[in-house]
Structure 1
Amino acid sequence: MSSSDFNYLDIRFADIQMLRYRLDGFDGLSLNQKKLIYCLAEATLWGRDITFGQFGGYNLKIRKTLEAVVLSRDIARTTLDYIALKDYLRRVWFSSGIYHHYGCEKFKPGFSEAYFRNAVAMADVALLPLDGMTVGELCDELVPVIFDSDVLPTRLNKIAGDDLVATSANTYYVNVTQAEAEAFYDVQKKTGDGERPVSYGLNTTLVKDSTGEFSEKTWCTEGLYGPVISRIVYWLEKAMEHAENDAQRDVISTLIEFYRTGSLDVFDEYSVKWVKSTDGMVDFINGFIEVYSDPLGLKGSWEGIVEYKDIEATRRTRTVSDNAQWFEDHSPVDVRFRKPVVKGVTANVVKAAMLGGDEYPSTAIGINLPNADWIRAEHGSKSVTIGNLISAYSVASRESGMSEEFIADEETKLLVERYGEVCDELHTDLHECLGHGSGRLLPGVNSDALKEYGNTIEEARADLFGLYYMADEKMTELGLLPDGEAYKAHYYTYMMNGLMTQLVRIEPGRNIEEAHMRNRALVARWCLAEGTAVKMVKGDDGRTFVHIEDYARLRSLFAVLLAEVQRIKSEGDYGAARNLVEAYGVKIDAHLHAEVLERYRRLDIAPYKGFINPVLVPVSDQEGNVVDIKVDYTESYDEQMLRYGREYSMV
């Protein structure tokens, strides 16, 4: 099947367009590598319910209840209420719960409470998560959560001045306030290893009981999420049988030990081994990784991804990683905050083979891990750019009309058409491979010192690193960009996105909440406020456009801001982080927002996109031996989600 014949698009609903991604080159892998990918894929799919559970205490129950309704043979499927309920369920599937995956606000159902109660009463009782309750009692429990906008209204609250823990609906903390959580982990940090601190609180729920005592409930095979984690371990053990080498086998074995013990020391041991394991064709991420969903930036949401290398495309990222020391030495940040010696930077372009948890259906296109600063400093990091997902996004964006609607002039449109894709790929490489891995903390600075602003500052730091270097003549010298004009395409689209087009993802009247969006707004608005490189201008028809008056000056502004953001991180300057994010990264101009939403509405395109996983199908001979793994792309979004609910759930 050629790329032109492949159907990338599936269903569209709410503000979401579902896409498929291709596994080019999969057929050329060895049978053992295919089996390894299959086993790791099963381990990835089994973590799904953990993410649902982390993102809200009622998510799994609501999902199961709604799935029972849509599977009911007796319910009418053409009524407006049913259609609204089905779309609500699709949003729940997409966001791993009842909260928007980006904005974190609770979904508003388009069906009535009376319809919901009647529909649940018609569902197959065997499919409902009753757990000893009657159908009426189940509805009584779920109705306020679904229909009352004041009950658990947001998954992740980031409003300055609020108790961010008590007002967030995730399940990382139970009966705990923000002050209590911060005090609890401050004690651990003060008594722990200051040179090589573990990721305190990464894999636990912090609970305060009725007597006021605090305890951590660990996420492991014998603890919270134990049945699901045991299934992950089962498939990891199967994967070990097909490991490509001893180092890869040791990585998987150590991850299994972490899942069984919950020990953060073992997690660090696993992370170090994972960084050093670079020889195989196949790699994976599986575990409690990113902390963006915790208002305090401590708890890791569960995620999984299985990948294999794109050898040809990796030559670009290897060029970047091989010159990591040059980039660090020439950074515009204070020499005190640079790494004297950059260690172990590895970068690959990969093809995703399976997505799971917080990486599914909405996923990153680039990843840099591990997150522990001391591991980065001593052992390095691994970065990936996920090429087949970028390709799917690129195909979906063609003919969207975005350039015609939002780019100010024909010259800039042509610039973006010519250089946009190569610049996007390079910025992802620089962001993930070098940006996140650059710089260092001063001695004694805690990696969590920036608290709720840490994620935004870190993303700004990586973005600014990439932006600054894209305009450097080193890019053409290394063959990473075709000429010295190419970088301008990315400078323009980045500023346009940060100032305008990303606003289509936010409902009127709301602030920017998500860390990556805050980062882009912060960078773009700070540069705009300087007034010498970028302006917002009105066209003859009244539409607002971004106009870059001086690209060289804009680069110098990126340098100044990068130096300040790195200082904030290196010194752990919480006050400066708060002031910078709150001043530039949060509030929205209501008039501009309304204009952008109206212009986007006329284009009739979905602001968010997500992915349907391919189905990996074992092929056996007459004796029952697996002789191949085939890839099936025909499963629809609804079919996949209902199948996952049946096959990968312990609820």
Structure 2
Amino acid sequence: MDAQELKNYLADSPPSVVRLEIEKHFDALNDKQKRYAHFISRASFHGTRIVARQISPESEPIFDFILALHKTCGGDWKALQAKAGISDEDLGNFLQYAAQFLGNNGNYKSFGDAKFIPRGPESAFTALAAASPEAQKFYDATSGAIFSANKPALLHLGYPEQGHMTTYYPGSSDITKAEIDFISSWMEKKGLLPENTRLIKNKNGSFEILIASAKRTVPSEGGDIGKETTFKIETGDLTGKTITLVYGDYSKELEAITANAKKAAENADNENQQKMFTSYAKSFEEGSLLAFKDSQRFWIRDKGPMVECNVGFIETYRDPAGIRAEWEGFAAVVNLDRTRAFGALVEAAPTLIPHLPWGKDFEKDTFLSPDFTSLEVLTFAGSGIPIGINIPNYDDIRQGEGFKNVSLGNVMGAKSPNEKVPFVAEKDLGVYRKYRDGSLEVQVGLHELTGHGCGKLLQEKSPGEFNFDHKNPPISPLTGKPITTWYEPGQTWGSVFGSLAGAYEECRAELVAMYLSCEFPVLKIFGFGDGSIDINGEAGDVLYASYLSMARAGLTSLEMWDPKSRKWGQAHSQARFSILKCFLEAEDDFCKLDYKGDDISNLTISLDRSKILTAGRKAVGDYLRKLHIYKSTADIENGAKFFGDMTNVDPDFWGTKVRNEVLRNKQPRKVFVQTNTNLDEATGKVTIKHYDATPEGMIQSWAERHV
């Protein structure tokens, strides 16, 4: 790889390190709630090494290398610098890399799935490693992968057969996508859920499904599909091959997680919380995802808690097949003031959803009003922190029992100093800066609640049992004819749409939010305007900032598109780019890119505010309707083609000219320094410790986390 290309993979300099402020919200909890939050935090952070192993083989030894250096110098980095004989610049490059690594829990970006490499010479890291035998041991264990960039495909996460990096299929460089899909289908038919698994292809062609569990043997009463662990494939391309279930993946980590889950159960505020963490403990101890689904049922029923949480193998974005999930866990404190606005949005949702551009046949029979809280994050363990969450991700629970939404306020509001805003015209900067946080809160609320929360999957739930009138199928608003496809028994949204599901669903949810943000009573809920249509008033400012932010996000998303593989590296980015294309293709010159001739060095977005409610909303509605109907009816053939066209990047204009300008103006993505909680065993009281918003503070926080 030449030096120019390599520049795009260098660690941010400097990284944008910000602190998550939590103290005043944590102080409002009683002692028992603080202990509950403490044990959830510990359970969450004990999954750190799981996340590292899910990203790359070198991530865990890099983590240990960084912490070994901190231990060697006791946080006196200047002393270590002198001992290693490296320059100020070399030390700075190491600290910046370490902060970005710890903020992503690995050496691939959580937002974009691209590897990042230290700035400066490899010799500086070698000199630092020589400072202690322990650091040297871990540095040697990275096998040179910290700086390695000689195989461009390995700079991105993806399928092994395409040369990309993945550890969801460890040691199986010859495993094919077809084999992965076949085993996934086999698991689906058996009723074995995939989220907490990894898959190995052995040299003799047999397969092992690794199940994450503290116990290393099948539970005495049997696992989720019984006591049998070895199966022979009877039909299909892999006929005669064997599949073996192997328990105990991440066993050491899950032992600690289980112990802390049990402690959290002891400090629960109510029966739902107690049962939730008892189910968590069973899931993590025995590898049961059926027990995990029970934990999610109790979580849904735990309405309005002071301490909110979720822990486990949750999101499937990083598995190239889109079914295996990364470890994630959070503990957060409810912001009661902001939660009131989200509560009002929940109350309004049943009147908002009928505005969406499809008929009742493609919508849930009853909107299951969820809990929707604004949270201040105490702990978020994983590869990155989102600004909003809508879970659980199990369709049967979501459609029949409900779900929850959370907005993470102190993540959304965290700002680094001197943030630049490229691609927004000078005339729009005032409105953009003033209302971007407010518009983002509206966007996140609608995205999570009505976006992920709306829509019906038309299913044959079991042979002969349908959740719609299959003898008189609904009329598709796209064709004007009865639908011909639906979900067959055992099929789920994820299994049908596979690796496409993540980006597709994020796009659908974003579009729902863009469409419903045009309802001025929604803006009133968040304190903007009086509910009447006023495109030029404050509510109009918020709406304009929302559409402008989405267009800008679509533009900057090109950073996450890889021109070599012509692949998107991040689901949200893929979705937002397609929405920008939707804006640009709208009628009446609704949205344009402004630049002079062939010179795009001063590229800005021009969006006609007066046309948001007409051309803009129509374009959004047309795009949304197609995505929704294809999803609702399991129409993967038309859905995949349509979404593929909308997310396609023309390599000359978008993939080269515009992308180069995006990279030239790239802003560092924020990494968050989080507190640590400490329990005094004698008094039962929990305190928290904050750290400086610096690379040194980030490293110290992890050194004192003891995971």
Find out whether 1:295 has 2:320 as its counterpart.
yes
Task: Tell me the residue number matched to 2:603.
Answer: 544
Contact between 2:114 and 2:569, CA under 8 Å: does it hold in 1?
no
Cα distance in 2, alignment partners of residues 209 and 489 from structure 1: 55
Q: Counterpart amino acid of 1:463? A: E
Match of 1:219 among 201, 212, 223: 212
Tell which deviates more after alignment, 290-299 or 320-329.
Answer: 320-329
The number of equivalent residue pairs is 603
Please, what TM-score do these two structures have when normalized by structure 1? Answer: 0.85
Indicate how the Cα distance of structure 1 residues 460 and 480 shifts in structure 2: closer, same or farther if over 3 A, else same. Answer: farther
Task: Tell me the residue number matched to 1:553.
Answer: 615
Indicate how the Cα distance of structure 1 residues 79 and 385 shifts in structure 2: closer, same or farther if over 3 A, else same. Answer: closer
Q: Secondary structure at the match of 2:311?
A: strand
Match of 1:611 among 672, 684, 687: 672
Equivalent runs, 1:394-409 vs 2, <5 Å: 396=416, 400-402=419-421, 406-408=423-425
Equivalent runs, 1:113-124 vs 2, <5 Å: 113=122, 116-117=125-126, 119-120=128-129, 122-124=130-132
Match of 1:97 among 103, 106, 111: 106
Q: Secondary structure at the match of 2:576?
A: helix
Task: Tell me the residue number matched to 1:27.
Answer: 27
Find out whether 1:438 has 2:454 as its counterpart.
yes
Shift of 1:554: 0.4
Tell which deviates more after alignment, 102-111 or 243-252.
Answer: 102-111
Task: Tell me the residue number matched to 2:42.
Answer: 42
Equivalent runs, 1:84-483 vs 2, <5 Å: 84-113=93-122, 116-117=125-126, 119-120=128-129, 122-129=130-137, 138=140, 142-143=143-144, 146-150=147-151, 153-157=154-158, 163=161, 167-175=164-172, 176-192=175-191, 200-222=193-215, 223-358=248-383, 362-393=384-415, 396=416, 400-402=419-421, 406-408=423-425, 410=427, 412-444=428-460, 445=487, 446-448=492-494, 449-476=496-523, 478=525, 481-482=528-529
Indicate how the Cα distance of structure 1 residues 635 and 236 shifts in structure 2: closer, same or farther if over 3 A, else same. Answer: farther
Task: Tell me the residue number matched to 1:568.
Answer: 630
Shift of 1:315: 0.8
Cα distance in 2, alignment partners of residues 63 and 380 from structure 1: 38
Q: Counterpart amino acid of 2:529? A: P
Cα distance in 2, alignment partners of residues 16 and 635 from structure 1: 11
Cα distance in 2, alignment partners of residues 578 and 15 from structure 1: 39
Contact between 1:172 and 1:299, CA under 8 Å: does it hold in 2?
no
Shift of 1:104: 2.2
Contact between 2:68 and 2:135, CA under 8 Å: does it hold in 1?
yes
Unaligned runs of 5+ in 2: 1-10, 74-79, 216-247, 461-486
Task: Tell me the residue number matched to 2:581.
Answer: 525
The alignment's C-alpha RMSD in Å is 2.9
Shift of 1:473: 3.6
Q: Counterpart amino acid of 2:645? A: A
Cα distance in 2, alignment partners of residues 537 and 527 from structure 1: 14
Q: Secondary structure at the match of 2:108?
A: coil
Cα distance in 2, alignment partners of residues 627 and 91 from structure 1: 33
Indicate how the Cα distance of structure 1 residues 424 and 117 shifts in structure 2: closer, same or farther if over 3 A, else same. Answer: closer
Deviation per CA, 1:152-206: give whole Å up to 9, x if none.
7134238xxx946x633233454232111100111222344xxxxx7x2110111
Match of 2:547 among 488, 492, 498: 492
Shift of 1:323: 2.4
Indicate how the Cα distance of structure 1 residues 78 and 488 shifts in structure 2: closer, same or farther if over 3 A, else same. Answer: same
Shift of 1:106: 2.6
Q: Secondary structure at the match of 2:312?
A: strand
Cα distance in 1, alignment partners of residues 556 and 127 from structure 2: 41
Task: Tell me the residue number matched to 2:16.
Answer: 17
Indicate how the Cα distance of structure 1 residues 129 and 238 shifts in structure 2: closer, same or farther if over 3 A, else same. Answer: farther
Q: Secondary structure at the match of 1:142?
A: coil
Cα distance in 1, alignment partners of residues 526 and 33 from structure 2: 32
Cα distance in 1, alignment partners of residues 526 and 127 from structure 2: 64
Q: Secondary structure at the match of 1:383?
A: strand
Q: Secondary structure at the match of 1:153?
A: helix
Shift of 1:524: 1.3
Indicate how the Cα distance of structure 1 residues 283 and 492 shifts in structure 2: closer, same or farther if over 3 A, else same. Answer: closer
Contact between 1:616 and 1:632, CA under 8 Å: does it hold in 2?
no
Shift of 1:516: 0.5
Contact between 1:408 and 1:545, CA under 8 Å: does it hold in 2?
yes
Task: Tell me the residue number matched to 1:592.
Answer: 658
Contact between 1:324 and 1:345, CA under 8 Å: does it hold in 2?
no
Tell which deviates more after alignment, 213-222 or 73-82.
Answer: 73-82
Shift of 1:590: 1.8
Q: Counterpart amino acid of 1:516? A: H
Indicate how the Cα distance of structure 1 residues 39 and 69 shifts in structure 2: closer, same or farther if over 3 A, else same. Answer: closer
Q: Secondary structure at the match of 2:315?
A: coil
Indicate how the Cα distance of structure 1 residues 95 and 630 shifts in structure 2: closer, same or farther if over 3 A, else same. Answer: closer
Cα distance in 1, alignment partners of residues 67 and 687 from structure 2: 30
Indicate how the Cα distance of structure 1 residues 268 and 495 shifts in structure 2: closer, same or farther if over 3 A, else same. Answer: closer
Contact between 1:17 and 1:610, CA under 8 Å: does it hold in 2?
yes
Q: Secondary structure at the match of 1:143?
A: coil
Shift of 1:124: 2.0
Deviation per CA, 1:320-357: give whole Å up to 9, x if none.
11222222323212433211111142211111111212
Cα distance in 2, alignment partners of residues 450 and 268 from structure 1: 21
Cα distance in 2, alignment partners of residues 636 and 37 from structure 1: 25
Tell which deviates more after alignment, 227-236 or 531-540.
Answer: 531-540
Deviation per CA, 1:367-386: give whole Å up to 9, x if none.
11000111100111100011
Cα distance in 1, alignment partners of residues 115 and 526 from structure 2: 47
Cα distance in 2, alignment partners of residues 298 and 383 from structure 1: 22
Deviation per CA, 1:389-417: give whole Å up to 9, x if none.
22223xx37x5352xx533363x444434
Indicate how the Cα distance of structure 1 residues 69 and 353 shifts in structure 2: closer, same or farther if over 3 A, else same. Answer: closer
Cα distance in 2, alignment partners of residues 144 and 589 from structure 1: 28
Shift of 1:563: 0.8
Task: Tell me the residue number matched to 1:53.
Answer: 53
Please, what TM-score do these two structures have when normalized by structure 2? Answer: 0.79
Deviation per CA, 1:553-607: give whole Å up to 9, x if none.
1011111111111112112233334334433325234222333444x37xxxx33
Shift of 1:460: 0.6
Cα distance in 2, alignment partners of residues 383 and 107 from structure 1: 32
Contact between 1:349 and 1:385, CA under 8 Å: does it hold in 2?
yes
Contact between 1:55 and 1:155, CA under 8 Å: does it hold in 2?
no
Indicate how the Cα distance of structure 1 residues 382 and 425 shifts in structure 2: closer, same or farther if over 3 A, else same. Answer: same
Deviation per CA, 1:38-58: give whole Å up to 9, x if none.
221122221111100111122
Task: Tell me the residue number matched to 2:476.
Answer: none
Indicate how the Cα distance of structure 1 residues 75 and 230 shifts in structure 2: closer, same or farther if over 3 A, else same. Answer: same
Contact between 1:172 and 1:204, CA under 8 Å: does it hold in 2?
no
Cα distance in 2, alignment partners of residues 171 and 283 from structure 1: 29
Q: Counterpart amino acid of 1:210? A: K
Indicate how the Cα distance of structure 1 residues 14 and 114 shifts in structure 2: closer, same or farther if over 3 A, else same. Answer: closer
Cα distance in 2, alignment partners of residues 66 and 279 from structure 1: 39
Cα distance in 2, alignment partners of residues 534 and 249 from structure 1: 52
Q: Secondary structure at the match of 2:155?
A: coil
Shift of 1:244: 0.7
Deviation per CA, 1:522-571: give whole Å up to 9, x if none.
11112312453222223699632222232121011111111111112112
Contact between 2:19 and 2:693, CA under 8 Å: does it hold in 1?
no
Q: Counterpart amino acid of 1:576? A: N
Contact between 2:85 and 2:127, CA under 8 Å: does it hold in 1?
no
Shift of 1:304: 1.1
Identity among equivalent pairs (%)? 22
